[in-house]
Amino acid sequence: MSLRITHLGSGSKGNATLLETEQVRVLVDQGFSGASLERRLKLLDLHPSDLDAILITHHHGDHGGGALIAQRRWGLCVHANARTAEELGLITDLWQPFVSLEAIQLGPDLAVLPVPVPHSGADNVAFIASHQGRRAAFITDLGSWTDELARYVRGCEHISVEANYDRGLLERGPYPRSLKERISGRGGHLSNEQTGTFLAEVVTDATTSITLTHLSDMNNRPHLAESTVLYHLDDRFQGDIHLSMQDGPEFSVFLGEAVDVEKAPEDHAALSLQREGS
């Protein structure tokens, strides 16, 4: 069994991504209410109490707003850096601190490396997950990238990255100028074109799947995000590309292999049996 990746939902109303191996289940971000998280996991025949831990990228509500709920309601351990923990008011006894560029060992077969990314008003990180020599990257809420981030993402087998807005839709849209400038600034979000440029820099022959996340309802369209990214990738990428929307989960990625969420309960039941017998 390798690393299974399921986006439970992605966007300004909440984000969470489930990572599963034979030995461990963790969330990357928890930006949903307790009821919403329960409902999304139930579609996968899971419950929040089945989780081993939660990793939080940064404290903004759509990424970390449900972390304290998860601690109080299900006693889950939350991994977060110091500023994120302080901003979210996490329960100290259920908080596991981390610092950037030091690996977090989450179980015998899953480690995660936090890598700093620029995002206004937050100590945001991307996560590079490693499982049996295979790597997957999870990157969101950044208006630009660093050479350091590109170095760690380059060659990952799976890359989840935001494609937040189409520049034309943002410019023509109803947002005030100050908000438009914040979104498109260095500490804001990636446009479709920026995401395509970034992926063209980091995708290699090892990359088999890409998931575009955090699409703006107001300032983006799925077909624009996908077509713009593919234009920049040209013939560099021959794998699968998926889009994670707000009302997930819609699919799982098995490091490149997508499966219908309707089949997921059977898959998760089999995984549970493997975990119990391990």
Number of domains in the chain: 1
List, for residues 22-36, the tens digit of each pLDDT value. Answer: 999 999 999 999 999
Does residue 200 belong to any structural domain of this protein?
A: yes
Instruction: For the beta carbon of residue 121, count every other beta carbon within 10 angstroms.
Output: 11
Please provide residue 84's backbone torsions phi and psi, each rounded to the nearest 5 degrees: -60, -45
CA distance 104 to 133: 15
Quick check: 266 pLDDT over 70?
no
Is residue 219 situated within a structural domain? yes
Q: Residue 167, SS3? A: helix
Cβ atoms < 10 Å from Cβ of 39: 12
Looking at residue 142, its amino acid is L
Please state the rounded mean pLDDT for residues 225-231.
Answer: 97
SS3 87: helix
Q: What is the CATH number of the domain that holds 260?
A: 3.60.15.10
Domain assignment present for residue 277? The answer is no
Q: Is residue 71 part of a domain?
A: yes
Residue 276 — very low, low, confident or very high, per pLDDT cuts 50/70/90?
very low
What is the rounded distance in angstroms from the CA atom of residue 248 to the CA atom of residue 251?
8
Range of the domain at 21: 4-272
- 167's tokens: 């520049």
**Residues in CB range of 92: below 8 A, 6 or more apart:** none
Whether 19 maps to a domain, the answer reads yes
Token duo for residue 150: 């590109």
pLDDT of residue 274: 44
pTM across the whole model: 0.91
